Amino acid sequence: MKLQLNGATLDVDVATLDGLLTAQGFGGAKVATAVNGQFVPAPSRADHPLAEGDLIEVLAPMQGG
């Protein structure tokens, strides 16, 4: 399935957002996620299905001001 992760096109074989994060090395990282512009909270990622063409954003928190 083709997806976009942070603007880069990927061809992956995953069914859920959690599966994608694990496959892309974000496993236990503290990140914020959105699919097609909609925030997906961490507890919902394992149940959030992905579909062909989905746009996924993964953002890491930053410190500073």
Domains along the chain? 2-59 (3.10.20.30)
Which residue type sits at 28?
G
Please state, in angstroms and rounded to a whole number, the distance separating the CA atoms of residues 11 and 43: 25
Note if the pTM is more than 0.85: yes
pLDDT at 62: 75
Q: What is the dihedral of CA 39, 63, 27, 45, to 10 degrees?
A: -10
Q: Look at residue 65 in the predicted model and tell me its pLDDT.
A: 63
The list of the chain residues with pLDDT below 70 reads 65
